[in-house]
Structure 1
Amino acid sequence: MFLISIGIITIIVVIFIIQFKFKTNKLYDKMLYGHHIMITGGSRGIGKCVAMEAARLGANITIVARDATRLKAAANDIKSQFIKKNQKLHYISIDLGSEYNSVKNALDCAIQEIGPLYMLVNCAGMAICGTLEEMSINDILKLINVNLISTIQATKAVISDMKKTGHGTIVITASQAAMCGIYGLGVYSATKFALRGFAEALSMETKAYGIKITLALPSDTDTPGFAEENKSKPLETLLISESGHLFTPEQVGHQIFKDALEGNFFSTIGFEGHLLTIGCSGMAPCTSYFELVCQVVFSGLLRLIVIYYQAKFYKIIKTCKLEREENSRKIS
């Protein structure tokens, strides 16, 4: 079993390296002078890093978030990356999960001021950890509102205008939790799985209009939100997440923006993320022959690796349960 897993991974790594070696870096070949990029959740973390990337390519930018103070600070940082004097930046303080007409009017004003939208990057999101029985109904509804409703409403507000222009890109930022459910992230995973379904359906609705959809699946990212999330993570979730790699928001933001510009449906960072898109491709649209070959050849074999990791995670969960019961007996 172990040797089979190593063999599969080695083959994929070799193909991945060959593909990477001969692939041109289109991100910096494509300047965005005058194009309007709108980023939700743009005041910090991944969203802010995407905005910084766009600024360095000459784009006009709108950032959207709830906290006006953070927006103003982020706006100054983003402007420092401008490469042309006539670049524009607009920021909107609004809860994207609030009444739809308010959201629509706010985003319309930005489009009227800066110009037609070339790209919408949905980065607004949050995580609240805990088993289902531990989570309050308020926290459950908050996760659904911030992670799912906000993305749907922001996208709905701009989709008609983007169809009229006949081109553009919409990024839906989910998580690797959109591909696999993890202990302590049940409701969070539910919202991210929903975003994956939304992205796949949206790609069917928009393809004929020249609009591309990118589904971003970042790994754990060292953001303020991640630090806050760790405060509520059950021990089991912390131990399971340690098996993955922690990336910086700059790394993730760069990769998301690069994949969006290249028209990729999946945007992943790190080898684990790439494996997930191979093993869980489902009905996702095909935008890369390399990915298609990997999915056809290796998806069945990768199931063996998944079973190995599941057994490893279940062992962690069982050990934590036994230790908790033992501590409870000692106290009583």
Structure 2
Amino acid sequence: MITGGSSGIGLSVAHDVARRGASVTLVARNVSRLEKAQQEVELTMSKLSMDGKVQFFSSDISGSVKNISEMVKNAEASLGPVYMLINCAGFARAQKFEDLSPDLMKQMLDINFTGPMVLTQEVVRGMKVQQEGGVVVFVSSQAGLLGLYGFSAYSASKAAIVRAAEALHMELKPHNISVTVCYPPDTDTPGFVEENQTKPIETKLISEAAGLFKPEEVAKKLVDDSLCGAWSSTVGLEGFMLTTLCAGMGPITDAASFMAQVFLSGLFRSVSAFYLWSFTRIVEREHKKRLENKKSE
């Protein structure tokens, strides 16, 4: 089951798991996009002669608990218990803190945090009862590992999902259900294009440092890592540095990541000082430009 499965990373994940032989449930709000996504994933399956099936449900994951519960029951009634839940649905609006409306802050929290939590509750209950094991994936963001200019509300909502996932990892481990958190960098998706429409120039310049990745890259790494039971998943050098540096008291799921955290954290902290200095320079430079423009006016 993939939320946000009609486009972007979610749709790329659907194609990836379909190529591996899975049946897929796509969840999103826009029916026409879901219909198109279903056709595309079914085409992927037919080209590879896979026997999996594709279904979709138009549902707002930030909506009522009753509707979410019914959606999960209907999905499982037709395709069986959910083995792998991938929470891709989410959105970002980058604005200066004083320009954020309370409604927008609540909307980001509802879609990026509360909605995935409620849906995961419903799915996990079934995983415990109907099968021995499962996989839960939360798509956070590299902005969930550090606060950036323009992302005060977004970073907070994506950081919240990480702390919740850590607790859930501990709770679900005895039930053979793994939890993975994915930290995508800027990814070339429709959501990213929409996000850029309100993004302050400071945020754009800071984000450019990590480059722009393809959704297929992020999706493949997400699926590979989660099927291996890895705690975190990311792509790119900056992603590796951030997840290593910010490991904290996070779960230890493999020796390689643990050793990297032990021996590279000090080095990466030194490197991070350069990044933070460059970010500060960007903010200060753009602030001075605005002051000079006001004076000239």
Residues 1:151 and 2:111 are matched in the alignment: no
Partner of 1:61: 24
Partner of 1:296: 262
Partner of 1:214: 180
Would you say the 8 A contact 1:266–1:277 is kept in 2?
yes
Letter in 2 for 1:241: S
**TM-superposed deviation, 1:134:** 0.9
Partner of 1:259: 225
**TM-superposed deviation, 1:163:** 1.5
CA distance in structure 2 between the aligned counterparts of 1:273 and 1:85, rounded to whole angstroms:
33
CA distance in structure 2 between the aligned counterparts of 1:86 and 1:50, rounded to whole angstroms:
18
TM-superposition CA deviations, 1:88-138 (whole Å, max 9, x none): 111000101111011011111101110111100000000101111011112
CA distance in structure 1 between the aligned counterparts of 2:250 and 2:132, rounded to whole angstroms:
22
**TM-superposed deviation, 1:300:** 2.1
CA distance in structure 2 between the aligned counterparts of 1:113 and 1:207, rounded to whole angstroms:
28
Q: Alignment partner of 2:83: what SS?
A: strand
Unaligned residue ranges in structure 2 (runs of 5+): none
Normalised by the size of structure 1, how large is the TM-score? 0.87
TM-superposition CA deviations, 1:180-205 (whole Å, max 9, x none): 11101110000010011011111011
CA distance in structure 1 between the aligned counterparts of 2:52 and 2:245, rounded to whole angstroms:
42
CA distance in structure 2 between the aligned counterparts of 1:103 and 1:173, rounded to whole angstroms:
19
Residues 1:41 and 2:7 are matched in the alignment: no
CA distance in structure 2 between the aligned counterparts of 1:293 and 1:87, rounded to whole angstroms:
39
CA distance in structure 1 between the aligned counterparts of 2:80 and 2:40, rounded to whole angstroms:
22
The worse-fitting range, judged by mean Cα deviation, of 84-93 and 211-220 is 84-93
CA distance in structure 1 between the aligned counterparts of 2:6 and 2:116, rounded to whole angstroms:
16
Letter in 2 for 1:136: S
Partner of 1:24: none
CA distance in structure 2 between the aligned counterparts of 1:169 and 1:94, rounded to whole angstroms:
21
Partner of 2:167: 201
TM-superposition CA deviations, 1:215-270 (whole Å, max 9, x none): 00010000011011111110110111111121011111111111111111100101
CA distance in structure 2 between the aligned counterparts of 1:244 and 1:301, rounded to whole angstroms:
18
Q: What aligned pairs does 1:1-332 form with structure 2 within 5 A after superposition?
A: 38-82=1-45, 83-84=48-49, 86-164=51-129, 165-331=131-297
The worse-fitting range, judged by mean Cα deviation, of 123-132 and 137-146 is 137-146
CA distance in structure 2 between the aligned counterparts of 1:284 and 1:43, rounded to whole angstroms:
31
Instruction: Give the percent of matched residue pairs that are identical in Structure 1 and Structure 2.
Output: 39
**TM-superposed deviation, 1:328:** 1.0
Would you say the 8 A contact 1:40–1:124 is kept in 2?
yes
Count of aligned positions? 294
Letter in 1 for 2:226: A
Unaligned residue ranges in structure 1 (runs of 5+): 1-37
TM-superposition CA deviations, 1:44-84 (whole Å, max 9, x none): 00000000011111111100001111100100000011134
Would you say the 8 A contact 1:58–1:84 is kept in 2?
no
Q: Alignment partner of 2:178: what SS?
A: strand
**TM-superposed deviation, 1:166:** 2.0
Q: Alignment partner of 2:56: what SS?
A: strand
CA RMSD of the aligned region, Å? Answer: 1.0
Letter in 1 for 2:220: H
Q: Alignment partner of 1:294: what SS?
A: helix
CA distance in structure 1 between the aligned counterparts of 2:168 and 2:108, rounded to whole angstroms:
21
